[in-house]
Amino acid sequence: MPTRLLIALFLTLAAASGADTSHPGSTIYKSQCASCHGNLGEGVPGKFDEPLTGDRSLEALTKKIERTMPEEDPGSCVGEDAKQVAAYIYNAFYSPAAQARLNPITIDLTRLTISQYRTSVADLIGHFRNGSDKDWGKERGLQFFYRSPEILKPEERAKLKSNADPRKKTVKVDGRIDTLDLHLGPDSPVKDKLDPDEFELRFEGSLITPETGTYEFIVRSENGFRLSVNDREKPLIDAWVSSGETVREERASLYLIGGRAYYLAIDHFKFREKSASLQLLWKPPHGVEEIIPKRHLSPERMPKVMIVSTPFPADDRSLGYERGSSISKEWDQAATQAAITVAEHVDANLDELTRTKPDAPDRPAKLQTFAETFTEMAFRRPLDDAQKQFIASQFKTAPNPELAVKRVVLFTLKSPHFLYPGLLDSDKPDDYTVASRLALALWDSIPDKRLLQAARENRLHEKADVLRAAQRLVTDPRSRAKVDGFFHHWLELDHAEDASKDPKAFPGFDQSSLADLRTSLRLFIEDTVWSETSDYRQLLQADYLYLNSRLAKIYGKDVQTPDFQRVAFDPKQRAGVVTHPYLLASFAYTRTTSPIHRGVFLTRNIVGLSLKSPPMAVAFEESHFKPGLTMREKVTELTRDGNCMSCHSLINPLGFSLENFDAIGRWRTKDQNKPVNATSDFPINEDKKIRLTGPRDIVNHVVQAPDGHRAFIRQLFHHTVKQPTAAYGQNTLNDLQKTFAQTEFHIQKLLTEIATLTALHQIPSPAKPSPKK
Amino acid sequence: MNFPRRQFLRDLGLSAATLPFLSGLPSLTGAPTPQRRQRLIIMFSPNGTLPQDFWPDQEGENFELKPILKPLEPFKKRTLILNGIYNRVRGDGDNHMRGMSCLLTGTELLPGNIRGGGGNPAGWAGGISIDQEIKNFLQSQPNTKTRFGSLEFGVAVPNRADPWTRMSYAGANQPVAPIDDPHQMLSKLYGRMKDKDSLVSILDDVQADLKRVTSKLSARDKSLLDQHMALVRDLENDLKEADKQSSLPHRIPDIDPSLELVNDNTPEISRIQIDLLVNALANDMARVGTLQYMRSVGMAQMRWLGVEEGHHSLSHDPDTNQDSYAKLLKINQWFAGEFAYLAKRLSETPELTGDDSMLDNTLIVWTNELGKGNSHTLDNIPCVMIGGEKTFGYKMGRSIRLEQQPHNRLLLSYAQSFGHSGLKTFGEPTLCTEGPLILT
């Protein structure tokens, strides 16, 4: 009996590992392959140390073996042998399914990423502020309010003493203004209506931030001025008292979360100075100093946003996307410092946040309710009895209720229930779990009132309900900020942030051109993703660029206004993000193109094929080549080696097909005075090659190839959920690809599908009623 | 030697990432210094005085305190009353503006856009004020360097920035705003320590919570939270260690968290601010302080004295208006009472080194931007000093009448008393040609 049990156990183990030793291919593998690839394809240091895994089909794998293996004697393992060994390898460890069986992919517990922490805190505090969920509308520009004493006739003016001013009547003019770039000279802002010698101007509204980071604000004027950003009480810049006739420049910086709107006001006044002017500029992250453009100003006045500006150590990106998979002392210290900052903010704004007054008799009760709601919101679910008791005990033991609030805030933000949203899952997942996952996936934040309400009413566990909730979330600006982050990641924009070009080779192309290109790309993406059709294919196939007058000059078009507008190109010359000059410039050297950088980016992120890391490091050095070679000739020479070509047979054709674009992404027909050759054959699999003559051929292939769709979906999934797709089942990616194709490649629908699918993961349906409060 | 801070931290084995947090841990007092701690506090009240009831009739050591100065009676022997100090600085701006912004700077105002009740519009003062000058001098030397160097207190200062509202300047065009919110001052002084206490109080609960949730997790997820737990434990130990290293000689004062900053609470706020100032100096966080009541042209309604009218309006009334005069008398007496309270608190607080009181080493000065409210004169601006006998060498217990001396000479005298002998003139050099006032 025990023996039989042992045998049964052994068989089970063997089946589980997939290494079917009785398979005929197994013998061949052991004798011919294992010495370099290891017993289970794990690799052998010094020989072939990369694991033998991949996404080729069994047929493709067989052909590859026939053609290339074993390395020392290619062609000696063919026909039935190759078939057998390929079948063995494929099922034992090569295929994704085999890998999933050998190394089951699970959902890891992760903490909030830095971005999730900041957004969650902003919304947590915002929950208690009036109007935090209000929209900043479609109108752009700022409101203005001008006033001055009535204008005097010359003879009346002559009677005025230098100091005493008997005028009582004030004249007011209101309206809208696009940007703040006023140069009035000695004149009145409203001729014949306002006194040119003495007036006060106020501009008010909100600032819409494109991305997260430090914004520098610059105000220039010879008059008195005061600038407030995100804080009505305390000006960011106070230069109310002027100093002579010279134009002063004041600067101040502020850390802001992207994709939100922040209250902004600027006051200006002139009193008998010879002239008046006012300029409001900014230097956004990765941008250059410029007058704040109209599209980043809204006349709506937004409430204050609590911003955690504490620097955190960068999140883990070893899997290609940011996730909170590790902690360190530095991280814990940053989280502690951030918690203190938030506690101080709450303390300083307590009356506003709790809607009470210092002498109100119900103040202690209101503060305790606030503390409970705060913790509930942060934990994303109703408090259990122990948690309620803890809060009550703080109010009993602290010397005063204000201090109790502070302690509860510190406790809450240091608590694992706030920092690890996934902890919910280890308990019984319920409708609150769904709410928490949706908010995290689509907003990087905590659930809002409506989501919590739906969870409370048990309306968040049927797919239709959850999908509807996700659709609402996707229309919120927070989703836009999150999607913005995805594009940053998919298009590897951090590459572009370090780009610079040789001013001798490209006169007139400088940091402000790069900043303009960044804006141009952002406008294109936003326009595409947030349109009715939200079509992924448009991202690749669009034949236009957004250009302003500066960029138009560089790219040979005619635009008169400084505002960005759509400019059509020859469809051969432009194809969506693939030919956006910002990317073409970022995947290029300072003077020359780089087909390898472009090709690697296209292979992995656009065409969606995996590449192993290069077997040896080869530097690209101009001096190694004969003068006069084209870039294509140089790269061809450099990667001639057979080892190189296993990947460069993919990389090079893709890179070469963009050779008609120089290092700043302008169309060219010559390289080194020779005609550019952009034509090559690209092997889409072992059997089939397609001819590429330029970017249009690439994108036309990609929009109908599941590999490219999957690359897009996988990265969007990673960015949204912060977990691998396979953790939600082997077929997740393929299923999503099918849905994507069925919905005409609708990006917003894909996003809601990802959020819904992951939110409902392992949620019993119908869910057990969540515990009543 | 200029020692790069990062290098220093690297030598200690600390990375830059730990810096923000470490700097949050209190090393509030720095190393104890054996020397006498010489200190200066300048108190300001606005809108001129009533000369008849302010200046003693007698000169020298035998003098009688007039009604306004009566509250100083307990400190009479340690008091020096200086008549004949003139603010001779001219230039743009009205007398209130110049009275205020030139009071401690002794420089002309820069041209600007602020319209006054007379003269040309003007801007900020054109130079550093004496409190900041002395602060910079003390901060430049290791044995007189303190955490803040100087502290700028206010009481009921309106929330606006203009030449009537600022007397301290870090330099030309750089006014220093006084802090008139005791909570804000408390958190500037002790905020991080208080946060630390709050943090310590909740860390046990965080650990308990971590333990509870960890028990339900898979081994793989558990290891992350175990790491987290270890970090929380480290933090707790670090905080306890920091506690051991820093014990303050004087405990952190408590302030009612619901105290509101409104006009009618001014008497309470004034006492809290004085207590905080004395406490901060006792804990040697600074050696120089300013205490600014309201602002020039201030309109405080001192209902606690039975005065409904605004102070500045009253100060314009002629001397013959008996009702107004009586009210102004009350107002100025009240300021004198606050000044006396400051002296009292310092005299009650022993120095850590030696057996003298803080008042022995601290010169406190009460001054005003105008000589007289209804004439707006900058002549004979009030100047009363108490204390500082052991460190300033001024001969106290006197009433002196000087012959129209520019106040620049007095400001220079403060600086030189601190050993800042390199400073030969202060503010407008032409007003300083005769050097510092000799008050020994």
Q: Give the count of beta carbons closer than 10 Å to the beta carbon of residue B159.
A: 11
**A168/A59 same-domain check:** no
| Run of H or E including A282 | strand A276-283
Number of domains, chain A = 5
Cα dihedral across residues A126, A129, A133, A138: positive or negative:
negative
The answer, yes or no, to whether residue B232 has pLDDT greater than 80, is: yes
In a domain, A763, yes or no: no
Q: Which residue has the tokens 């810096």?
A: B19
Nearest-CA distance A238 → chain B (Å): 8
**Whether the predicted pLDDT of A153 surpasses 80:** no
Do A223 and A358 have their domain in common?
no
DSSP string, A459-527: -SSSHHHHHHHHHHHHTSHHHHHHHHHHHHHHTTHHHHHT----TTTSTT--HHHHHHHHHHHHHHHHH
First and final C-alpha spacing in chain A: 55
* Cα–Cα distance for residue pair B399/B409, rounded to 1 Å: 18
**Nearest residue on chain A to B94, alpha-carbon basis:** A163
Packed helices B407-417 and B130-139: angle between N→C axes, nearest 10 degrees: 20
Gap between the Cα atoms of A402 and B197, Å rounded: 14
The model's pLDDT over B62-76, given as tens digits with 9 standing for 90+, comes to 999 999 999 999 999
Residue A237 bridge partners (DSSP): A227
Tell me which chain B residue has its CA closest to the CA of residue A410: B199
Task: Give a yes or no: residue A127 inside a domain.
Answer: no
B2 pLDDT more than 50? no
Round to the nearest angstrom and report the end-to-end CA distance of chain B. Answer: 37
* CB-count burial class (<10 Å; 0-12, 13-18, 19+) for B3: exposed
* DSSP code of residue A607: I
Closest CA to A340 of A369, A310, A311: A310
Residue with tokens 């992995």: A604
| CA distance linking residue A501 with residue A586, whole number of Å | 10
Share of chain B above pLDDT 70, in %: 91
Mean pLDDT, residues B334-358 taken together: 92
Mean pLDDT of all residues in B340-357:
90
Burial readout B368-382 (b: 16 or more C-beta within 10 A, e: otherwise): bbbbbbbebbbebbb
Q: What residues pair up with A206 in beta bridges, in sequence order?
A: A263, A298
Of A408, A441, A473, at which residue does a domain stop? A473
Contacts of A338 (CB under 8 A, 6+ apart): A117, A121, A308, A310, A312, A413
The answer on A685 and A538 residing in a single domain is: yes
- pLDDT at B418 exceeding the cut of 90: yes
Other CB atoms within 10 A of residue A572 CB: 15
CA distance B365 to B387: 9
CB contact under 8 A, A163 and B17: no
A109 touches chain B (CB under 8 A): yes
Q: CATH number of the domain at B29-181+261-432, please?
A: 3.40.720.10
pLDDT value, residue B194: 78
Q: Which residues of A491-505 are buried (b: 16+ CB within 10 A; e: fewer)?
A: bbbeebeebebeeee
Position B244 confidence tier, pLDDT thresholds 50, 70, 90: low
If you average pLDDT over residues A682-703, what whole number do you get?
91
**Residue position matching structure tokens 């990423």:** A113
Which pLDDT does position A161 carry in this prediction? 57
* The two structure tokens encoding residue A553: 């000059």
**Which residue is associated with the tokens 């002549």?**
B379
Residue A59 lies in a domain: yes
> For position A234, which CATH number holds?
2.60.120.1560
Residue A209 lies in a domain: yes
The pLDDT of residue B21? 38
Nearest by Cα to A236 from A264, A208, A206: A264
Is residue A142 within 8 A of residue A205, CB to CB? The reply is: yes
Single out the residue in A75, A102, A129 at which a domain terminates. Answer: A102
Q: Does residue A316 belong to any structural domain of this protein?
A: no
Give yes or no for a cis peptide into B350 (omega within 30° of 0).
no
pLDDT at B247: 66
A407/B198 CB distance under 8 A: yes
**pLDDT for the residue B275:** 95
Q: How would you class A192 by CB atoms within 10 Å of its CB: exposed for 0-12, middle for 13-18, buried for 19 or more?
A: exposed
pLDDT of residue B223: 86
Report the C-alpha gap between A329 and B228 in whole angstroms. 9
Instruction: Report the pLDDT value the prediction gives residue A359, as an integer from 0 to 100.
Output: 86
Query: What's the length of chain B?
Result: 440
Residue B135: closest CA among B143, B146, B127: B146
- Max distance between CA atoms of chain B, in angstroms, equals 89
| Percent of residues, chain A, with pLDDT higher than 90 | 66
Which A residues, 311 through 350, put their C-beta within 8 Å of a C-beta on chain B? 311, 313, 325-330, 332-334, 336-337, 340, 343-344
Question: Which pLDDT score is estimated for B134?
Answer: 97
Q: Tell me the residues of chain B between 271 and 310 that have a Cβ less than 8 Å away from chain A.
A: none
Chain A residues within 8 A of B264 when measuring between CB atoms: none
Q: Contact B227/A310, CB-based, under 8 Å?
A: no
A99 membership: H or E segment, kind and range: helix A96-102
Question: Tokens for A156?
Answer: 């009346």
Q: What is the pLDDT of residues A391-423, one digit of tens each?
A: 999 999 998 999 999 999 999 999 999 999 988
Q: Is residue A733 part of a domain?
A: yes
Residue A103 has pLDDT above 80, yes or no: no
Q: Which residues of B touch A403 (CB under 8 A)?
A: 198, 257
Q: Are A438 and A447 in contact (CB under 8 A)?
A: yes
Are residues A170 and A146 part of one domain?
Answer: yes
- Is residue A321 in a domain? no
Q: What is the pLDDT of residues A249-291, one digit of tens each?
A: 999 999 999 999 999 999 999 988 899 999 999 999 988 999 9
pLDDT for residue A606 is more than 60: yes
**ipTM score of the complex?**
0.79
Q: Which pLDDT tens digit goes with each residue over B114-132?
A: 887 777 788 999 999 999 9
Residue A749 structure tokens: 């629908």
Q: List pLDDT tens digits, range B139-172.
A: 999 999 999 999 999 999 998 888 999 999 999 9
Amino acid at B130: I
Supply the pLDDT for residue A352: 94
* Contact check, Cβ <8 Å, A407/B201: yes
Domain with residue A69: its CATH number is 1.10.760.10
Mark which of A451, A473, A495 sits at the end of a domain: A473
pLDDT at residue A307 greater than cutoff 80 = yes
Quick check: B282 pLDDT over 90?
yes
CB contact burial A692-707 (16+ within 10 A = b; e otherwise): bebbbbbbbbbbebeb
> Confidence band (pLDDT; 50, 70, 90) for A424?
low
Kindly state whether residues A233 and A353 are assigned to the same domain. no
Q: What is the least distance, in Å, from the CA of A632 to any CA of chain B? A: 45
pLDDT, one tens digit per residue, over A440-471 is 999 999 999 999 999 999 999 999 999 999 99
Residues A697 and A746 placed together within one structural domain of the fold: no
Least confident range of A168-172, A556-560, A628-632, B372-376: A168-172
DSSP assigned state of B72: G
User: Could you tell me where the DSSP H helices lie in A178-328?
Assistant: none
Is the sign of the CA dihedral B56, B60, B61, B62 positive or negative? negative
Chain-chain contact of B199 with A325 (C-beta, under 8 angstroms): no
DSSP characters over A618-675: ----GGGS-TT--HHHHHHHHT-SHHHHHHHHHHHHHHHTTTTB-TTS-B-SEETTEE
- If asked whether residues A176 and A200 sit together in one domain, one would say yes
* Confidence at A162, pLDDT banded by 50, 70, 90: low
Q: How many CA atoms lie within 13 A of B127 on its CB side?
A: 18
Closest residue to A243, CB basis, from B173, B191, B217: B173
Give the SS3 label for residue A140.
coil
Tokens of B191: 């905020």
pLDDT given for residue A765 in this prediction: 65
Give residue-wise pLDDT tens across range B358-373.
Answer: 999 999 999 999 999 9
DSSP code at position A766 = S
Interatomic CA distance for residues B347 and B342, integer angstroms: 9
Region A512-537: mean pLDDT is 95
Phi-psi region of A628 (alpha: psi -120 to 50; beta: other; left: phi over 0): left
Cβ partners under 8 Å of residue A485, min gap 6:
A115, A719
Long-range contacts of A169-176 (CB under 8 A, 24+ apart): A171/A147, A171/A195, A172/A145, A172/A146, A172/A147, A173/A145, A173/A146, A173/A147, A174/A143, A174/A144, A174/A145, A174/A146, A175/A143, A175/A144, A176/A139, A176/A141, A176/A142, A176/A143, A176/A144, A176/A299
Whether the bond between A503 and the residue before it is cis, its omega within 30 degrees of 0, is no
Say if residue A40 is in the same domain as residue A166.
no
pLDDT at position A102: 78
Rounded mean pLDDT of chain A? 89
Model pLDDT, residue A165: 58
Gap between the Cα atoms of A759 and B210, Å rounded: 25
Kindly report which listed range (A79-83, A294-298, B171-175, B176-180) carries the lowest average pLDDT score: A79-83
Mean pLDDT in chain B?
88
Question: What integer pLDDT is reported at residue B338 of this predicted model?
Answer: 98
Cβ distance of A358 and B123 shorter than 8 Å: no
- A646 in the same domain as A577: yes
Across B54-59, average pLDDT: 96
Q: Say yes or no: A507 and A595 in one domain.
A: yes
- Do A509 and A599 fall into the same domain? yes
Same domain (yes/no): A649, A723: no
Between residues A64 and A256, which one has the greater pLDDT? A256
Structural domain for A18, as ranges: 2-102
Of all residues in chain A, the one with the smallest CA distance to B109 is A243
Indicate the burial class of A516 (C-beta count within 10 angstroms; 0-12, 13-18, 19 or more): buried
What CA–CA distance (Å, rounded) separates A464 from B37? 75
To the nearest whole Å, the CA of A330 is away from the closest chain B CA by 6
Q: Judge: A332–B94 Cβ closer than 8 Å, yes or no.
A: no
Q: What is the pLDDT of residue B248?
A: 74
DSSP H or E stretch at residue B365: strand B362-367
Tell me the nearest-neighbour CA distance from B168 into chain A, angstroms. Answer: 15
Q: Which of B113, B181, B200 would you mutate first to test chain A, the one with the most A CBs within 10 A?
A: B113
Check CB contact of B143 with chain A, cutoff 8 Å: no
Residues B13-28: tens digit of each pLDDT? 333 333 333 333 333 4
- Global confidence as pTM: 0.82
Question: Would you state the pLDDT for residue A81?
Answer: 82
Mean per-residue pLDDT, B213-232 = 86
Chain centre to alpha carbon of residue A534: 17
Better pLDDT: A56 or A678: A678
| In-domain check, residue A480 | no
What pLDDT does A769 receive? 52
Residue (of B77, B39, B72, B33) closest to B362 by Cα position: B39
Supply the DSSP symbol for A301.
P
